[in-house]
Amino acid sequence: MTQVFKFGGASIRDAAAIRRLGELLARFPERPLIVVVSAMGKTTNALEALLAAARGSDDADYRERLAALRRDHLATVKALFGERADPVAGRIEALIDELDRRHRAHAHRERPFHYDQTVGIGELLSTTLVAAWLDEIGLASEWRDARDLIVTDDRYQAANVDWTATAERVRDLDSDDGRIRVTQGFTGATAEGASTTLGREGSDYSAAILAHCLGAEGVTIWKDVPGLFNADPRRVDNAVRLERISYDEAIELAWHGAKVIHPKTLAPLRQRAIPLTVRSFQDLAAPGSTIGDDARRDGEVPALMLCEAQTLLEVRPRDLAFMDEARQHDVLGRLVAAGLHAGLIDAGAMRLSLVLDGHPERLEPLVASLATDYGVTRRDDLTLVTVRHGDDALLRALGAGRDCLAERRNADTAQRLFPSAQCPATWHLPD
């Protein structure tokens, strides 16, 4: 049965990493195999900066950023292919030229549309390199354009999948002719052919979409960590690896800010009971972590999620009236229209509190909109701490010496909002 592998930007960040990817894939001779690839390293960040430059007035800055993108990718081509670099370099040059044309054509369109026509080219560049390298080392591959596979609506930057049309498009991906299918994460297209993206860090979701439509045996996400942890091991000094957790628990962790799995990834896998395994591309002997239908509940180990750079908005009716259902509906509707997710929502008789990621391009228009009709109080530079399956002693220890600005708690999840200045660089989960 079909397997789907997904590789993130860290696993293909340079020529050495792409070579290691090829060595890894050589250890998995089973077919059919579909490989979903993100943009290289920090390329998406660079493309977003290029987008901002294209929409600005400094053409020299735009040209410098475009040249840097071209230079970095061509350097990787040269490092991989040496004297045989010209054919691959030509394909990379053509994609960079296409990116430039798209910026010039769309710079005056709405930003979400402009974003989706340009930023997804990072994945086209990376998959062009990966597919060529696999062929170079004797692993036959077929490059496929995700815009021809994943059909979406036109909600740019957060497109919704047309599952029926997508299933029709991807039917031949699992044909067993010995070739590895290489395609892009993060991207799709409308039925009319306009490029779309599935949301930042959406390559995991791309892998899940293909697996769901094909009824795949499993999905493996290859990361620079050896599995799923009950906390970010870079921020929590005693984080522990979770061997197996349920779909439900993994969805809760992702929803509340765990960074390993994209929040939309798990639902389509759960519908088909397709297990997802997170493994280390640096240590193939490491056992990894599996998410699936399993009676074991490693998920009941206390888990800690940290969301930083948060903003607290307290919204109040100007006429001192109740923050009733109609007003809550209005405020939350504006939140949805702005494309923002509230990590915490808390309502009082005369206020609605929202804790939001501090994305200026989306947050500032929302704040301006709300301020026309409501009283809005704002506080920035905050850290939202979410604990799953924690007891009172754990919550007291994590909040000791910090000012709690907002709080929400139910039977298995507690959230508290603190000033980031009061939070440590490294946290510790008390025993």
**Cβ neighbours of 97 (radius 10 Å):** 12
Residue 27 DSSP label? T
Task: Give, in order, the Cα–Cα distances in Å from 285 to each of 221, 279, 281, 414, 428.
Answer: 15, 9, 10, 35, 28
DSSP 59-99: HHHHHHHHHHHHHHHHHHHHHHHGGG-HHHHHHHHHHHHHH
pLDDT at 313: 97
Residue range 360-379: average pLDDT?
Answer: 94
Number of continuous H segments (helices) and E segments (strands) in the chain: 13, 19
Read off the pLDDT band of 296 (50, 70, 90). Answer: low
Domains 3-223 and 303-422 share a fold: no
Q: Which of 133-147, 250-264, 314-328 has the highest mean pLDDT?
A: 133-147
What is d(CA 237, CA 285) in angstroms, rounded to the nearest whole number?
23
Domain layout of the chain by residue ranges? 3-223, 303-422
**Cβ neighbours of 1 (radius 10 Å):** 10
The fraction of the chain above a pLDDT of 70, given in percent, is 98
Residue 148 DSSP label? G
The CATH architecture that domain 303-422 belongs to is 2-Layer Sandwich (3.30)
pLDDT at 187: 98
Q: What is the dihedral of CA 415, 420, 425, 428, to 10 degrees?
A: -30
pLDDT at 136: 98
Mean pLDDT across the chain: 94
357 against 354, higher pLDDT: 354
Q: What is the CATH number of domain 3-223?
A: 3.40.1160.10
Per-residue pLDDT for 263 more than 80? Answer: no
User: What six digits make up the tokens of 267?
Assistant: 């639902």
User: What six digits make up the tokens of 188?
Assistant: 């799709």
Q: Which of 60-69, 195-204, 292-301 has the highest mean pLDDT?
A: 60-69
> pTM for the complete prediction?
0.88
31 in Cβ contact with 216 (< 8 Å): no
* pLDDT tens digit sequence for 31-53: 999 999 999 999 999 999 999 99
